Structure 1
Amino acid sequence: MSGLCQYLALLYVTSTLCLFHGSRSEQEGEFCVTTRNRTVCGDGGNIRLARIDGQQTGFSQELTLEDGRTVTMTTLSTKPLVLEVEHFLTDMECDYFVNMAEKQGLKSSHTQANSTQSGQFHLLDTNRDKKLDVKEMINTIEASYDVYLEKEDILEMYKSTQWDKNEDGYITPDETQHFPPNRLRAYLEELLSRKPEKHSRYSKQVWLYPDSSKDKIFSGVQKRVTEVTNLPKELIKLSDFQVVSYGVKGHYNAHFDSAELNKNVPCCTRDRTKQCRICRYMTILFYLNDVEGGGETAFPIANNDTVDLKRVQEEKLNNLYKKCEDANLLVTPSKGKAILWYNHFIEQMTDGWERWIVTHYTGDVP
């Protein structure tokens, strides 16, 4: 579970998401990779996942990059395995990605739930007393619309919409019957237009697709990533670059970067975006500029021996707009720095790529 804390100034980051678009074909023994408009199959002999040995927190190892530079990789956490490499990108490469993103045009970021556009609305009456208190309403709106409100926001909503008829701070079935979901969505959309930071993600982004480009900057970074991670070049070439711009108050609440395994649900691809799950073996994040304050990458439950997601929800540890300083691990941004973390384990009983075991420390949707 990771996220990006509130920014006090403009920060650009880019990440390459090592996506798994492969599958077994009907012909036994063949491995197929799906690219933009075609599927290529082979014996899969060179498709093997690898995992860096981080040993223990604080462990450092020297790396010689393909351009001759020597950098240090440091283990920041083992649960999940998080690694940091200063100066992984050069200043020129950082500026290049920023310029390319600005040239293509950045648009507002959305989570997969896409906030108020969702038609789902589930009342979370956790104590089953047939009415919602303020805390339950906060949880209901978070789960249904990916919007993070506080007590003052809820009470203001009740007052503005007159939803709470008797002003007792509780919403009953009768009051809900006279306040349909479309009115709530309309109110939240208006609220977000005034306070966009209430959304779980507040940023702008653009996707870059290096596999369709002969760009030497892209290919150089891909080669570097391949050498450092020891992952197959085919996988790295199919991994897209996402450039994200975070302005003042920009943030991304803690989330999982890959979904749990489910053989009945296929992995998402560029062409398949619905009724699928996010399959990301690992995430590599690059900082593209320096900032004077804020902008840390946070891992709220890093290095915990156990994971209590109920506690995370109850204490709102995933709300990094408010709870950033409470995270177990905070990584400070600096231009050219790379952070690498794994969203899955490799199941050693298989051939190394066909199955993964999800770790609950970081995994799920972007």
Structure 2
Amino acid sequence: MREFKPSHPYAGQKLPFPPPPFRSTRLHIQRSNVCSRAYFVVVMVFFHVYILNVIALLLYVHYNNGPEDLIPSEGASSSAINDGGSPLPRSAPSSTDLYLDDYSQSFSLPRIEGIRVGHVQRISLASDKTLVMKTLSLKPLIFEIPGFLSEEECRVVVQLAQLKGLMETQTPALVQGNDESNLPLLSLSTEEVFGLLDLNQDGLLQKQEIVSHSRSRDGTWLSADSLRQILINLETRPTGTITLDDFKRIYAESQSTAQRTGKLTNQYKQRNKNTWLHQGPGSHHVVIGLTRLPSSLVELSEPLQVIRYEHGDYSDAHYDSSPTNPEASCAHTRLASNASTVSEVSCRYVTVQFYLSSVDEGGETTFPVADNRTYDEDVSDGIDLTDTQQTCHRGNLLVKPTVGTALLWYNHLSDGKGWMGEMDEYSLRGDCPVKRGLKWVASSWINVDPDHLQQARYQRLVAQRHQVKSGLEDYYQPLSHNNLHQDL
């Protein structure tokens, strides 16, 4: 057989350098794959852990920052108002969000523009109803809205007031030159005063009920000193309530003290009958839509006051609110104040008044100095314009009561930064004597503290108490004993 000879040039010769050692390419590839897969697994594990941490953090922030820390958006409704179509706030807040708005970062109070006297704006507070709002005055800013309530709605409010019961608020005239002979402001029995203070008619007085009347008082039936003494006694009681028997003793002491010091004397006079009606959650939606103010400010304001004027009844010209005073606190935010102040005053940013009946003759609402060039309570002849019994016809603006019509006016100016400023001295108003017929009116006041930080603290305090109360009610599930005729 022929011997095989390799054809390579170096075949059979000694190589100048040794050949490289044999390495398995397959083994190298396997090691590379193992490292790549391990690295990929580690990276994916860290990535998923990171994503889970981010999600957990977002959930923590979301559930710890509840509705009370959210700033409500102004104008969340699709309803339009005015020629420019400015949006209105939502018309009916839910009961769960009622007290949970926080204004600690949003200090702005929407204010309707008057434009000029006689200017007409069209407003839509319901999908099937468009109203006309007319500017009556610029000093103070007053608007008239005819047909705001239907006649049926007016009758319902009147019936509720009659079922609740009305109390006399007659103030005796002062005896000229003899202030010491003045009688007490009202001739009410202790039981009647207790009934007026006991808003929920549970037979006990709570602090909130006393505070509610202190911010709605107008000097007609309970003095500031009496209210303060009642509050002091209430705060010293472990139960936080006062029974009728305890109230009789406290009230008698406060009245005797006031009579000895002569502090019941008051120049303001009126004669009528009135009562207060609590409004349930969500019942303020028409006022919220009309004023464009945040729902919590409206919902946390005073109960609705219903007044009946009979023949000869009247009220002298007065201010619904009080001048801003650093030494006095707003009655409605006193619960959130740590500092003790000398006195409490009413802080009513807006008044909304509803005419529940028409009057045959007399009974006009008078704004004696509306749109005066300069403010002056007295005319050059020395006539007192606050005395509506004598000078009601001299007022600059008289509004005749017409059933269903609403009046809205601002008792305070703006501070230039979007919050409530000084009291508008032109907002003096009264009620002319009724000459023929009956006059029924209802007044709704929106309370705002000039100190926006104090107002924010009050909002948070009420929100916290509401949450605690809701939790207790859910736990115990108590039966409802509300008197329906007291609530709207």
- Pick the TM interval, shorter chain: 0.5 to 0.7
SS in 1 for 2:332: coil
**Alignment-mate amino acid for residue 292 of structure 2:** N
Q: Work out whether residues 312 and 318 of structure 1, in 8 Å CA contact, stay in contact via their aligned partners in 2.
A: no
| Equivalences for residues 35-54 of structure 1 within 5 A | 42-45=102-105, 48-54=108-114
| Equivalences for residues 134-213 of structure 1 within 5 A | 138=176, 200-210=269-279, 213=280
Alignment partners' CA distance in 2, 1:337 and 1:288? 8
Cα 1:245–1:313 change in 2 (3 A) is farther
Alignment partners' CA distance in 2, 1:96 and 1:313? 45
Alignment partners' CA distance in 2, 1:302 and 1:364? 9
SS in 1 for 2:349: strand
Indicate the residue corresponding to 1:107 in structure 2.
167
Indicate the residue corresponding to 1:125 in structure 2.
none
Tell me how far 1:209 sits from its aligned partner: 2.0
Tell me how far 1:227 sits from its aligned partner: 1.3
Alignment partners' CA distance in 2, 1:322 and 1:76? 24
Cα 1:145–1:91 change in 2 (3 A) is same
Alignment partners' CA distance in 2, 1:271 and 1:248? 39
Cα 1:199–1:302 change in 2 (3 A) is closer
Which is worse superposed, 335-344 or 264-273?
264-273
1:358 paired to 2:410: no
Alignment partners' CA distance in 1, 2:381 and 2:353? 25
**Alignment-mate amino acid for residue 270 of structure 2:** R
1:256 paired to 2:319: yes
SS in 2 for 1:55: coil
- Number of corresponding residues: 254
Tell me how far 1:60 sits from its aligned partner: 0.5
Over the matched positions of the two proteins, sequence identity in percent amounts to 32
Cα 1:318–1:40 change in 2 (3 A) is same
Tell me how far 1:91 sits from its aligned partner: 1.4
Cα 1:313–1:93 change in 2 (3 A) is farther
**Alignment-mate amino acid for residue 317 of structure 2:** A
Which of 84, 106, 119 pairs up with 1:59?
Answer: 119
**Alignment-mate amino acid for residue 312 of structure 2:** K
Tell me how far 1:289 sits from its aligned partner: 1.0
Alignment partners' CA distance in 1, 2:172 and 2:333? 21
Tell me how far 1:305 sits from its aligned partner: 1.3
**Alignment-mate amino acid for residue 370 of structure 2:** A
Could you say which structure has the greater relative contact order, defined with CA pairs below 8 angstroms and 6 or more residues apart? 1
Tell me how far 1:65 sits from its aligned partner: 1.8
Tell me how far 1:269 sits from its aligned partner: 3.0
Indicate the residue corresponding to 1:244 in structure 2.
307
SS in 2 for 1:269: helix
Which of 384, 387, 395 pairs up with 1:327?
Answer: 395
Indicate the residue corresponding to 2:352 in structure 1.
284
Indicate the residue corresponding to 1:315 in structure 2.
383
Q: Work out whether residues 278 and 364 of structure 1, in 8 Å CA contact, stay in contact via their aligned partners in 2.
A: no
Indicate the residue corresponding to 1:16 in structure 2.
none
Q: Work out whether residues 205 and 242 of structure 1, in 8 Å CA contact, stay in contact via their aligned partners in 2.
A: yes
Q: Work out whether residues 366 and 429 of structure 2, in 8 Å CA contact, stay in contact via their aligned partners in 1.
A: no
Which of 276, 280, 305 pairs up with 2:373?
Answer: 305
**Alignment-mate amino acid for residue 325 of structure 1:** H
**Alignment-mate amino acid for residue 75 of structure 1:** T
Indicate the residue corresponding to 2:142 in structure 1.
82
Structure with the largest fraction of helix: 2
Question: For the aligned residues, what is the CA RMSD?
Answer: 3.9
Alignment partners' CA distance in 2, 1:304 and 1:65? 32
Tell me how far 1:205 sits from its aligned partner: 0.5
Which of 328, 350, 353 pairs up with 1:265?
Answer: 328
TM-score (norm 2): 0.46
Q: Work out whether residues 366 and 398 of structure 2, in 8 Å CA contact, stay in contact via their aligned partners in 1.
A: yes
Tell me how far 1:293 sits from its aligned partner: 1.0
Cα 1:241–1:224 change in 2 (3 A) is same
Cα 1:324–1:364 change in 2 (3 A) is closer
In structure 2, runs of 5+ residues without a counterpart are 1-68, 72-98, 186-257, 336-340, 431-444, 446-488
Which is worse superposed, 51-60 or 233-242?
233-242
Alignment partners' CA distance in 2, 1:312 and 1:233? 44
Indicate the residue corresponding to 1:92 in structure 2.
152
**Alignment-mate amino acid for residue 231 of structure 1:** L
**Alignment-mate amino acid for residue 203 of structure 1:** N
Cα 1:326–1:103 change in 2 (3 A) is same
Indicate the residue corresponding to 2:288 in structure 1.
226
Cα 1:146–1:40 change in 2 (3 A) is farther
Tell me how far 1:139 sits from its aligned partner: 7.3
Alignment partners' CA distance in 2, 1:51 and 1:309? 27
**Alignment-mate amino acid for residue 403 of structure 2:** K
Q: Work out whether residues 86 and 336 of structure 1, in 8 Å CA contact, stay in contact via their aligned partners in 2.
A: yes
1:288-326 Cα offsets, whole Å, 9 max, x none, are 011211111000111101112355994111111121111
**Alignment-mate amino acid for residue 258 of structure 1:** S
Q: Work out whether residues 259 and 363 of structure 1, in 8 Å CA contact, stay in contact via their aligned partners in 2.
A: no
1:204-257 Cα offsets, whole Å, 9 max, x none, are 1111121xx25xxxx35x211111211111111122210001011011110011
Alignment partners' CA distance in 1, 2:169 and 2:333? 17
Cα 1:87–1:46 change in 2 (3 A) is farther
Larger CA Rg, structure 1 vs 2: 2
